[in-house]
Amino acid sequence: MSSSPPGVTNPMLYDAIPEGSGTTTKRNQFIAALGICMAAVSGGTALAWTSPVLAQLTPTNESDTSAFEGERFLLTSDEGTWVGSFLAVGAFFGALPAGFLAEKIGRKYTTMSLAIPYLVSWALIIFASNAGMLYAGRLIIGIATGGSCVVAPMFISEIAETSIRGALGAFFQLHLTVGILFIYAVGSYTHWVTLSTLCAIFPVLLIVAMLIVPESPVYLVKTGRRIDAGVALKWFWGRDADTQSALQTIQSDLDAASGNAKLSDLFTNSTNRAALFISLLLMFFQQFSGINAVIFYTAPIFKSAGSTMDPAICSIVVGVVQVVMTLASSVLIDKAGRRILLLQSSFIMGSCLVVLGIYFKLQNDKVDVSNIGWLPLASVVLFIISFSLGFGPIPWMMMGELCAPDIKSLASALAVMFNWTLVFLVTKSFGIMQELLGSDWTFWFFGAWMAVCTVYVFIKVPETKGKTNAQIQAILSGKK
């Protein structure tokens, strides 16, 4: 049943806009995306939190703890890696329930509910007195982060007009990078308890924002609340929007789908299977670019490379570049298209990884590299630029674009679970790979995957710029 009171003032019962002649405004769509993405900022702070904090809690020489006097507790190197890795474990288990809740109680209230585990986790971390409490906090914050990765891109893809769907879709990754930059900038100069307390502000902002933002029109139509969907569209798209045509498009997309999807529908239907397979592989290549290894180990990379720059400053430089270039991607993505940005991303990232490998090879061979100490910084900055323009935002955005409405929540949950499984594997094994293979072969390993990625994107990934869901489904089914 609709919660809207009947009457001629209801924009769905008396819409003065002739069908097909409405005009839209984009302001509230950007405001809504900004509010929803407080979940992404929260996830970004969780993701990068280990970078400055482990330096404060993990002595380099564990027999010398004099510099750490006054801390409640210290961590061993192994405990430190688990503190970093538990987030990915939690994110894996948070994705599927978030997709389920998004279908049961809606995108709005699911997004709002994610603030609860964020706040609980920060409380555990702030009052932690041992490694076990940090493990619990990181596991719970991982659950919230995994849920955010499912619901926020889904919500944004459902409220955005086709003309700005790419720009708004890039907002999720943009705000992840804002959270990461916040940690780099503030965490380098504050105690880890103070940093954690400041991080708890963002889940509170998420709750406030979601009190203002309406429910997704797609979810409302799907649950039979067509009048409420029209009211929501008027809020998102403006009073002069042609809601009748927009609602008919949503209804047609839902009618073309098979209703409530089952897990088997993802594999038995060739179109659904293609959408899922592309989403999974984009997530695979995103993580096997080595991006989270670079983020988690930014300071150690510069230190081991013999950079003369303060590692904290290096991290902040990388964070600023990430934010600025992801913002640039949000502008370019609806102009240049998805494929060209993905192709430049994989090719340039692969090249940067090869250069980093060569640098570390020369260093390991005792070649004097003092005159090219800038090379690791330049390579990582270029790597981050390229990632931020392509493989940072686009896999999250295309996950929402490729899937039909009936399978979107389930497919998104599986893609996010797969992504965070890879995050765990890459971050947990990065240090081991460096010990066994050396820094040179570790970076070349990721560079080789980027070469494979470039070929795959060129051959298999469709362009979705400016296309409706129905058109995208036709492309995936082999119909042009």
| pLDDT score, position 298 | 66
36 pLDDT band, cuts 50/70/90, is very high
Query: Which carries the bigger pLDDT value, residue 190 or residue 270?
Result: 190
* pLDDT at residue 92 tops 60: yes
Q: What is the pLDDT of residue 260?
A: 63
What is the CA angle 43-46-52, rounded to 5?
140
Q: How far is CA 193 from the centre of its chain?
A: 25
Which pLDDT score is estimated for 306? 62
**Which pLDDT does position 179 carry in this prediction?**
95
Q: In this predicted model, which residue has the larger pLDDT, 323 or 6?
A: 323
Pick 4 or 221 by higher pLDDT: 221
Residue type for 440, please? D
Whether residue 348 is predicted with pLDDT greater than 80 in this model: the reply is yes
Q: What was the pLDDT predicted at 334?
A: 81
Q: Give the model confidence (pLDDT) of 254-284 as tens digits.
A: 877 655 666 777 787 888 888 899 999 999 9
Distance between CA atoms of 173 and 37, rounded to whole angstroms? 9
Q: Identify the pLDDT of residue 1.
A: 41
Is residue 163 within 8 Å of 155, Cβ to Cβ? no
Stated as kind and residue range, the H or E segment containing 12 is: none
* Amino acid, res. 322: Q
- DSSP letter for 239, please: T
Residues 135-176: pLDDT tens digits?
A: 999 999 999 999 999 999 889 989 888 888 888 888 888 999
pLDDT the model gives residue 364: 81
Q: How confident is the model at residue 304 (pLDDT cuts 50, 70, 90)?
A: low
Angstrom CA distances, 329 to 111, 136, 276, 337, 393, stand at 25, 35, 24, 10, 8
Please give the average per-residue pLDDT across 22-44, as a whole number: 90
Percent of the chain with pLDDT over 90: 40
Q: Is 8 left (phi over 0), alpha (psi -120 to 50) or beta?
A: alpha
pLDDT for 243 equals 83
Q: What is the rounded distance in angstroms from the CA atom of residue 275 to the CA atom of residue 254?
A: 16
Tokens representing residue 358 in the block: 């060569």
Q: Output the pLDDT for position 14.
A: 45
Q: What pLDDT digit, counting tens, does each position of 48-91 carry?
A: 898 889 888 888 655 555 556 667 788 888 888 888 889 989 99
| 470 has a pLDDT exceeding 90 | no
Mean pLDDT of the chain, nearest integer: 85
Q: Which of the four pLDDT bands, split at 50, 70 and 90, describes residue 210?
A: very high
Give the pLDDT of residue 457. Answer: 95
From the CB of residue 254, how many other CB atoms can be counted at a distance below 10 Å? 16
437 versus 478: the higher-pLDDT residue is: 437
Q: What pLDDT sits at residue 474?
A: 86
**This model's pTM is above 0.85:** no
Structural domains in the chain, CATH included, are: 25-59+72-213 (1.20.1250.20), 263-479 (1.20.1250.20)
Arithmetic mean of pLDDT, 416-445: 85
pLDDT for res 7: 38
Contact indicator for 209, 196 with CB cutoff of 8 Å: no
| Alpha-helix runs per DSSP H in 4-130 | 27-36, 38-48, 50-57, 77-104, 107-113, 115-126
- 350-359, 367-376, 377-386, 461-470: least confident range: 367-376
